[in-house]
Amino acid sequence: IPIDRYRNFSIVAHVDHGKSTLSDRLLELTGVIQKGSKAQVLDRLDVERERGITVKAQTCTMLYNHKGEDYLLHLVDTPGHVDFRSEVSRSYASCKGALLLVDASQGVQAQTVANFYLAYSMGLRLIPVINKIDMDAADIPRSLDQIEHMFELDTSDVVKVSAKTGLNVEQVLPAVVEKIAPPSGIVDSRLRLLLVDSWYDNFLGVVCLVYISDGSLKKGQKIFSAHTDISYDVKEVGIMYPIPLKTDIITAGQVGYMVIGMKKSSEAHIGDTFFTVGQAGEPLAGFEEAKPMVFVGAFPADGVEFKVLDESISHLVLNDRSVTLQKETSTALGQGWRLGFLGTLHASVFQERLEKEHGASIIITAPTVPYRILYNDDTEKIISNPDDFPSVENRQKVSVLQEPFVEAIMTFPQEYLGRVIKLCEAHRGEQVEITYLTTGQVLLKYLLPMAQLVDDFFGRLKGLTQGYASLDYEEAGYRPSDLVKMELLVNGKGIDALAQVMHRSETVNKGKVWVSKFKEYLKYQLFEVVIQAKAGNKIMARETIKAKRKDVLAKLHAADISRRKKLLSRQKEGKKSMKSIGNIQIPQEAYQGFLSRA
């Protein structure tokens, strides 16, 4: 099949609008999977999963006959969440068009909007598809209206389907063939390929999903990465059908996979360009190294072996290319790790997995975003650990402190507008735009500090709107901010693992919460304990745990006065000496309790 009969497309959709269901229908229609045999396919996928293989079921090559001619279609899956924006954009880069899928019962949502902008800005031809028309709650005119007014798309293009029942699904692929342009690669040319995605397979090792921009890729070829300059032998190539299917060759315009003996997922840089060794060319545009935006510290709890945890964390990271990992040492919690994630969702998913696997044996610190510190001597530093925040003494060397901001896009029913605006304002938000949608929904854009998003903003937004709100965001760069490091002190000593960088305006409230929460977990102490929250060099809050006096007199006869005095004074001495050391035992449950999100 010649390249002008290839069509590469993806599906742009909000979560739950039916992307997986529609993909399955398309695979059935083209005979990749048997109709009604979804259970069977899933079984097969489950087996794969048990073997430790991540199956990218939704990226698939299909053969489709349209008006008597065969077409080769590549459906390219994208990670659903915006945390992976740079990866989503690489998937779009391999496509000339996309289906813009809208749930007729819900209308356009935050993620639809964010992904639409991205796809549109990359020049993709968008075909609107209204899904779930079988539902009673479906409101087709409303969805049509949104597609026309929000996205300025031609509604005569719209395909109305039910992915679930299969109604009208047969109209989708003809639209793909007729409206989306073929890929623009040159077949008779030197090899140039784009790395779109990668995953770890226990048997094959690192598998790369690739888009062949020009030339062709064969087994045995020697290729190298434009980004790392490392060269590799091509061990296997093929197409996704929907699991890897070996072929001899993949050529310009095709999306397929390659196995090139990479040892670690981290060698695969999404957006990287590969050439044949000795035939370098111009790398494909848009390479952007994914940078972690949320960091946490993780430490083994008492009595847990560092080595055991280290192995299992390393294994988890091996499977998730986008997590960064570094060793870290805390005076309070000992040796541990610093983990970096692409965004808040990514962090919480990974954290859940860690907690599920390790339960109480792991202590995870509060998440932090990277802060940027500009010094008077024009140098700058990005810090991802509160421990690296400039000390009060070094503060005069600093010219500006900056924190990362995002533009949050929220959609929710109009009646909640007042409450949501209040929430955003309380989180140091700055309003960008309000759009009233025809659905009785509003689209609200706010500039928000990324740190607020990390701090369960979405949870609160959901709570306020009874679960109706959806949220997406785009990074909006760094802005100057009045930042300060807040520490928790126990008898005057700071606990490094609990320190956090925050905006000065938050220190009063947070300080109070910190000391009372920590007190709750320390409870009984033999000696007086002072718990303080300190922001910069200012004490924001204080709690004291009174010494619980051991009743040394209990066994004495009431008349034995001199003995009594002696015992009491000895007790006082003892306390004094312990107090001066200031060395109290903090049980690990106190850290764990303090850091628990409940």
Q: Of 29-37, 162-170, 361-369, 439-447, which part binds ligand GTP (CB under 6 A)?
A: 162-170
Residue 464 within binding range of ligand GTP, rule CB under 6 A? no
How far, CA to CA in Å, does 380 sit from each of 202, 371, 448, 475?
41, 10, 23, 20
Residue 142 within binding range of ligand GTP, rule CB under 6 A? no
Residue 386 within binding range of ligand GTP, rule CB under 6 A? no
CA neighbor of 268 nearest in space, from 258, 278, 277: 258
Non-local (6+) Cβ contacts of 167 within 8 A are 133, 134, 161
Q: Of 129-137, 170-178, 414-422, 556-564, which part binds ligand GTP (CB under 6 A)?
A: 129-137
Six-digit token string for 169: 């699904």
Q: How far apart are CA 171 and CA 128, in angstroms?
A: 12
**Residue list, annotated binding site for GTP:** 13-20, 77-81, 131-134
Residue 333 within binding range of ligand GTP, rule CB under 6 A? no
**Residue list, annotated binding site:** 13-20, 77-81, 131-134
How far, CA to CA in Å, does 9 sit from each of 48, 178, 196?
26, 12, 13
Among 7, 8, 12, 17, contact with ligand GTP (rule: CB under 6 A): 17
**What is the separation of C-alpha 46 from the centre of its chain, rounded to a whole number of angstroms?**
24
Residue pair 214/252 in contact by the 8 Å Cβ criterion: yes
168-175's contacts with Cβ under 8 Å and 24+ in sequence apart are 168/133, 169/22, 169/25, 169/26, 169/29, 170/29, 172/22, 172/26, 172/99, 172/129, 173/26, 173/29, 173/30, 173/64, 173/66, 173/73, 174/66, 175/127
Among 38, 122, 134, 319, contact with ligand GTP (rule: CB under 6 A): 134
Residue 160 within binding range of ligand GTP, rule CB under 6 A? no
Least CB distance from residue 497 to ligand GTP, whole Å?
Answer: 35
Least CB distance from residue 587 to ligand GTP, whole Å?
Answer: 41
Give, as ranges, the residues between 23 and 42 that touch ligand GTP (CB under 6 A). none
Residue 163 within binding range of ligand GTP, rule CB under 6 A? yes
**What is the separation of C-alpha 360 from the centre of its chain, rounded to a whole number of angstroms?**
23
> Which amino acid does the sequence have at 231?
S
Residue 247 within binding range of ligand GTP, rule CB under 6 A? no
Among 164, 179, 517, 579, contact with ligand GTP (rule: CB under 6 A): 164
Residue 132 within binding range of ligand GTP, rule CB under 6 A? yes
Return the SS3 of 569.
Answer: helix
Please, which residue, 41 or 339, has the CB nearer to ligand GTP? 41
Least CB distance from residue 382 to ligand GTP, whole Å?
Answer: 32
Place of tokens 């029913």: 413
Least CB distance from residue 438 to ligand GTP, whole Å?
Answer: 21
Q: Of 71-79, 159-167, 538-546, 551-559, which part binds ligand GTP (CB under 6 A)?
A: 159-167
Size of site (CB under 6 A) for ligand GTP: 16
How far, CA to CA in Å, does 565 sit from each of 556, 562, 579?
11, 5, 21
Give the distance between the most distant pair of CA atoms in the chain.
Answer: 112
At residue 220, φ and ψ (nearest 5 deg) are 90, -15
Least CB distance from residue 242 to ligand GTP, whole Å?
Answer: 14
Residue 16 within binding range of ligand GTP, rule CB under 6 A? yes
User: Measured in Å, how far apart are the chain's first and last C-alpha atoms?
Assistant: 58
Q: Of 128-136, 150-158, 287-295, 304-312, which part binds ligand GTP (CB under 6 A)?
A: 128-136
Q: How far apart are CA 120 and CA 153, in angstroms?
A: 11
Least CB distance from residue 56 to ligand GTP, whole Å?
Answer: 13
Per-residue binder mask for ligand GTP (CB under 6 A), 42-81, x = binder: --------------------------------------x-
Please, which residue, 131 or 273, has the CB nearer to ligand GTP? 131
Please, which residue, 80 or 390, has the CB nearer to ligand GTP? 80
Judged by the rule CB under 6 A, the positions of this chain that interact with ligand GTP are: 13, 15-21, 80, 131-132, 134-135, 162-164
